[in-house]
Amino acid sequence: MMIYIRLLQESFSFAVSALRNNKLRTLLSLLGVTIGIFSIIAVLTAVDSLDKKIKKDLSSLDKNTIYLTNVSFGPTKVPKWKREQFPKVTFDEFEYLKKSLNNLDAMCFQLFTRNENMQFEGKTVSSVSIGPTTFELSDIQKLEFEKGRFFNEAESNSGSPVIVLGYQIAENLFDDLEPIGKKVRLYGQRFTVIGVMKKKGSGVFDDNQDTSVYIPVNFLRRMYGDNNEMITPAILIKPVDGVDIESFKEELTQKLRNYRGLKQNEIDNFFINVLSGLTEMLDGIISMMNKVGIGIAFFSFLVGGFGIANIMFVSVKERTNLIGIQKSLGAKNKFILFQFLFEAIVLCFIGGLVGITLVWLLSIALTRVLDFEFVLSIGNILWGFGLSISVGLISGIIPAYIASRLDPVEAIRSGM
């Protein structure tokens, strides 16, 4: 056992010495491996970070949460001209379904509308995302508060001029002032601040709770009515835990069809968008991005591997005379094989280390510049080093084997 350990140590020393003696060639060889590892690990890191961000943004909602709207969140066979004729869901339908649906945990009515400006005394915040909704939203989403509370049932039903602010909106308007109880101006009306959300950051779907506010939906309905083109309504539905989601969807479909008076031969003029379906679609997109990215990066990695193999063949050619002398002094084939194989592995390992370091530095820089967290995971680091060593083995095995099989007499003679 000690003989093999000594053999490995001496082979490793010869390999490191050879790399030191040919610094320029070593540097040029490193570039191919470094670029290859950088490309693959950068792609994996970007996709993993995107996947992590999506899951974090969707974690506040149950996977069985349903968005009932006249718009499909995914691909659909219904032609565009027909979808454009679908009626919007209404508040009356929301109230009907809320009373009639079985296995219902929570349901809210929400409007999607354009951004507005908001004022407090002399300060103005522009492009504020407005979220008119009913009070049940707090039962569906995991809303976290820095201060205050969400509006209650009475405030929601009456359309009271109360408002819940996102963290950044409150910070921009009030600085160090206490926001709770203050009056802000929106839609030309005064709203009383009753709550401030915790800081969350931008979402992957370009939504940002920090720059959003929530108001009772009935306030906006009273102001604009239910048939305004600027408003897109949606009904958010959360079934009870453990319910058969397909059976729940069938009941929901049948009740809404009956309410709308649809005939048996008519198609559904609404879409039931289940969040789990959206996450599955996103998982498929992420998986495809991974495959495409790795496929593109593989070619640059392949070039690096060929570069290492080429350098190793040159190294064997240059040191043929030395190989002959080593073998004539008693060096075994294993020693020569490990000597060149370790040289290729060490070369690729260093290239992989540099490539991973560059990805790490780039992820830190992009995280600071962009409002998006890039994370280089331990798994991707291990992948990088594993691929580096694999390339070293594959690229170096043939040159190392050729070197180990050289005849000592012929090898010495070729160097004269």
pLDDT digits (tens, 9 = 90+) for 122-137: 888 888 889 999 999 9
Write down the pLDDT at residue 38: 82
Token duo for residue 231: 């408003």
pLDDT at 244 over 90: no
Other C-beta atoms lying within 10 Å of the C-beta of residue 188: 6
Q: In the listed set 269, 299, 318, which residue is the last one of a domain according to the structure?
A: 269
SS3 assignment, position 142: coil
Q: CA 414 → CA 114, 323, 406, 410, distances in Å?
A: 81, 11, 11, 6
pLDDT band at 213 (very low <50, low <70, confident <90, very high): very high
Q: What is the pLDDT of residues 181-194, one digit of tens each?
A: 999 999 889 999 99
In this structure, the answer to whether residues 264 and 293 fall within a common structural domain is no
Q: In the listed set 269, 299, 314, which residue is the last one of a domain according to the structure?
A: 269
Give the domain extent around 297. Answer: 2-57+281-414
In this structure, the answer to whether residues 262 and 306 fall within a common structural domain is no
More confident residue, 305 or 260: 260
In this structure, the answer to whether residues 349 and 389 fall within a common structural domain is yes
Write down the pLDDT at residue 5: 65
Q: Is the dihedral of CA 116, 90, 105, 149 positive or negative?
A: positive
Write down the pLDDT at residue 206: 44
- Give domain status of residue 63, yes or no: no
In this structure, the answer to whether residues 248 and 309 fall within a common structural domain is no
Least confident of 12-16, 139-143, 198-202, 230-234: 12-16
In this structure, the answer to whether residues 264 and 149 fall within a common structural domain is yes
Least confident of 11-20, 80-89, 390-399: 11-20
Write down the pLDDT at residue 196: 92
SS3 assignment, position 58: helix
Token duo for residue 182: 């203050």
More confident residue, 364 or 283: 364
Other C-beta atoms lying within 10 Å of the C-beta of residue 350: 18
Token duo for residue 243: 């319910």
Beta strand 104-112 with 232-239 is antiparallel
pLDDT band at 46 (very low <50, low <70, confident <90, very high): confident
- Taking the C-alpha atoms of residue 61 and residue 135, their distance in angstroms, rounded to an integer, is 16
Write down the H helix ranges in 59-101: 80-83, 91-100
Write down the pLDDT at residue 155: 92
pLDDT at 121 over 80: yes
In this structure, the answer to whether residues 181 and 213 fall within a common structural domain is yes
Distinct helix (H) and strand (E) counts, the chain: 14, 11
More confident residue, 310 or 124: 124
Write down the pLDDT at residue 138: 86
Other C-beta atoms lying within 10 Å of the C-beta of residue 201: 15
Report the domain count for the chain: 2
Least confident of 49-63, 108-122, 137-151, 170-184: 49-63
Mean pLDDT of the chain: 80
Write down the pLDDT at residue 9: 66
Write down the pLDDT at residue 164: 94
More confident residue, 60 or 245: 245
Other C-beta atoms lying within 10 Å of the C-beta of residue 104: 18
pLDDT band at 4 (very low <50, low <70, confident <90, very high): low
- Give domain status of residue 78, yes or no: no
At residue 116, φ and ψ (nearest 5 deg) are -135, 165
Average confidence (pLDDT) over 247-255: 90
pLDDT at 318 over 90: no
Token duo for residue 389: 């060593």
Write down the pLDDT at residue 204: 44
In this structure, the answer to whether residues 265 and 285 fall within a common structural domain is no
pLDDT band at 205 (very low <50, low <70, confident <90, very high): very low
DSSP string, 277-299: HHHHHHHHHHHHHHHHHHHHHHH
- Taking the C-alpha atoms of residue 409 and residue 8, their distance in angstroms, rounded to an integer, is 25
Write down the pLDDT at residue 135: 92
- Taking the C-alpha atoms of residue 267 and residue 259, their distance in angstroms, rounded to an integer, is 14
Write down the pLDDT at residue 184: 92
pLDDT at 270 over 70: yes
Average confidence (pLDDT) over 111-122: 88
In this structure, the answer to whether residues 302 and 390 fall within a common structural domain is yes
pLDDT band at 348 (very low <50, low <70, confident <90, very high): confident
- Taking the C-alpha atoms of residue 29 and residue 8, their distance in angstroms, rounded to an integer, is 23
What DSSP designation does 235 have?
Answer: E
Write down the pLDDT at residue 194: 94
Q: Smallest Cα–Cα separation from 29: which of 347, 320, 328?
A: 347
Average confidence (pLDDT) over 278-307: 69
pLDDT at 32 over 80: no
In this structure, the answer to whether residues 321 and 187 fall within a common structural domain is no
In this structure, the answer to whether residues 36 and 146 fall within a common structural domain is no
pLDDT at 203 over 70: no
In this structure, the answer to whether residues 91 and 234 fall within a common structural domain is yes
Q: Cβ contacts of residue 364 below 8 Å, gap of 6+?
A: 374
What DSSP designation does 243 have?
Answer: -
